[in-house]
């Protein structure tokens, strides 16, 4: 197991913080230490203008206003358009939360880490916040909540609310480094592609390597090394499974076909016997759809997956059911699955069964071994994926900054006061269906209350 600690670093002495504002626009290769007259660019620098970063900024700004305290909050993002991933979420419809958000729907070295933040911002509270932005949501299956106005409207409403609350945006500024203060009360130095920025408090909301076409990077892992923080290696989550050989050929024949299925990992697997029932989609590369995407978060290379193509049926009992003896085996299977899938699975029967054409025979004519073979091709199809589709098609990534180094209540680093981490920057990955976005909201909300 990786240790849960945050290594302390020693840096040269620094000058105390001055609240006056300044803009840094000239490029620099290696920013020098703060001179004696160094001014802060903001009270709070939030690195990343995605959902976690923007809700964090909005929460902090509103709390400051309610307390009649002036706080300069600056969001810094590598892209010139804030929240690009959010704008594409849910196929543009934004599955913005899930009514079932709870710790058991999250993968982490410490799954209970999410409990306090999720309790502080439950789905109902987020929906009230959404209403305050002038938006609404509706429920679809399994508690999934979609923004009625769409993902683009949600991103724009958040940005507008942040600006109205007095938050500033500095866009097109990739972050290259973070140096903590050498002394309490000093300034963090955030190195960017266009010069350094300074602030007494910094929040890392820089996401994960997932979905690189929309800005996913490994910058958090690189910053962790600079800061002396443990980073759990990132793995693609919620991504398709890629098959090879005959199994891939079969999937190509079935491309576009979607069925209900149960995908399971053996009890001896790295994640201890995970089983997921959901919709399965066949593609030209292998398996996708909710069932495959969800299982991909647990699957490890070399592990076999058992696929039950009729998860609601007891196949051995069904095939031996009194009164069905005159029915053809193929007819019974076609009651459970699309005909294309039935034919594809019958073609995969072992030679001794195919030679006797058991699919075209009446159930009463079949031996116990024949019936077991038919049940097996439906309920126990075993495949070993070659790989996953990787970060390029991952909707999220597991791994990130080790949560043991951060407060579950405030998201603040225990060893580096003033440093916070939110959303996918932390080792927290949610299940499919709005859970990852809800973690972004919940962690941003928690940090916003503490900043």
What's the pLDDT tens digit per position in 190-213? 999 999 999 999 999 999 999 999
- Please choose, from the candidates 17, 32, 16, 22, the residue with its C-alpha nearest in 3D space to the C-alpha of residue 179: 32
Region 50-78: mean pLDDT is 97
What CATH number should be reported for the domain whose range is 44-236+396-450?
3.50.50.60
Residues 138, 274: Cα–Cα separation, whole Å: 30
**pLDDT tens digits for 229-288?**
999 999 999 999 999 999 999 999 999 999 999 999 987 777 778 999 999 999 999 999
188 in Cβ contact with 199 (< 8 Å): yes
**pLDDT tens digits for 106-115?**
999 998 999 9
**pLDDT tens digits for 358-405?**
999 999 999 999 999 999 999 999 999 999 999 999 999 999 999 999
Least confident of 11-20, 27-36, 277-286, 299-308: 11-20
Whether 10 has a pLDDT exceeding 60, the answer reads: no
Q: So where are the chain's domains?
A: 44-236+396-450, 241-388
Q: According to the model, what pLDDT value does residue 354 have?
A: 83
Q: According to the model, what pLDDT value does residue 184 have?
A: 85
Whether 26 has a pLDDT exceeding 90, the answer reads: no
Q: According to the model, what pLDDT value does residue 267 have?
A: 77
Q: Which residue has the higher pLDDT, 121 or 24?
A: 121
Q: According to the model, what pLDDT value does residue 268 have?
A: 73
Q: Which residue has the higher pLDDT, 37 or 395?
A: 395
With 0-12 / 13-18 / 19 or more C-beta atoms within 10 angstroms meaning exposed / middle / buried, residue 363 is: buried
Pick the CATH number of 241-388 from 2.30.30.100, 2.40.30.10, 3.30.470.20, 2.60.40.10: 2.40.30.10
- pTM across the whole model: 0.89
């Amino acid at each position: 197991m990786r240790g849960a600690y945050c290594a302390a670093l020693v840096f040269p002495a620094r000058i105390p913080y001055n609240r006056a504002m300044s803009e840094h626009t000239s490029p620099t290769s290696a920013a020098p230490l703060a001179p004696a007259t160094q001014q802060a660019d903001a009270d709070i620098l939030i690195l990343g203008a995605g959902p976690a970063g923007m809700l964090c900024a909005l929460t902090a700004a509103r709390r400051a206003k309610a307390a009649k305290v002036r706080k300069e909050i600056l969001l810094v993002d590598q892209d010139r358009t804030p929240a690009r991933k959010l704008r594409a979420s849910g196929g543009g419809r934004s599955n913005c939360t899930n009514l079932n958000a709870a710790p058991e729907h999250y993968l982490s070295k410490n799954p209970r880490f999410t409990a306090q933040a999720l309790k502080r911002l439950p789905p109902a509270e987020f929906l009230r916040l959404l209403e305050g932005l002038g938006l609404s949501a509706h429920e679809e299956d399994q508690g999934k909540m979609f923004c009625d106005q769409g993902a683009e409207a949600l991103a724009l409403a958040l940005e507008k609310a942040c600006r109205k609350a007095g938050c500033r945006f500095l866009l097109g500024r990739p972050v290259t480094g973070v140096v903590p203060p050498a002394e309490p009360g000093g300034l963090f130095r955030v190195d960017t592609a266009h010069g350094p920025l300074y602030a007494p408090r910094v929040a890392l909301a820089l996401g994960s390597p997932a979905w690189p076409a929309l800005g996913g990077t490994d910058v958090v892992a690189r910053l962790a090394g600079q800061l002396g923080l443990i980073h759990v290696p990132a793995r693609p989550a919620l991504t398709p499974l890629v098959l090879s050989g005959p199994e891939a050929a079969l999937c190509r024949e079935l491309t576009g076909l979607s069925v209900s299925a149960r995908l399971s990992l053996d009890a001896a697997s790295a994640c201890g016997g995970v089983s997921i029932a959901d919709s399965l989609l066949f593609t030209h590369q292998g398996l996708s759809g909710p069932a495959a995407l969800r299982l991909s978060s647990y699957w490890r290379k070399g592990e076999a997956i058992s696929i039950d193509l009729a998860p609601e049926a007891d196949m051995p009992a069904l095939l031996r059911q009194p009164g069905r003896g005159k029915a053809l085996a193929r007819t019974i299977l076609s009651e459970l699955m699309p005909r294309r899938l039935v034919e594809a699975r019958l073609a995969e029967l072992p030679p001794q069964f195919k030679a006797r054409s058991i699919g075209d025979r009446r159930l009463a004519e079949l031996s116990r071994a024949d019936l077991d073979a038919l049940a097996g091709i439906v309920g126990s199809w075993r495949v070993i994926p070659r790989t996953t589709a990787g970060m390029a098609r991952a909707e999220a990534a597991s791994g990130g900054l080790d949560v043991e180094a951060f407060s579950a209540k405030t998201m603040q680093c225990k060893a580096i006061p003033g440093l916070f981490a939110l959303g996918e920057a932390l080792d927290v990955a949610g299940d499919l269906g709005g859970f990852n976005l809800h973690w972004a909201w919940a962690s941003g909300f928690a940090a916003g209350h503490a900043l």
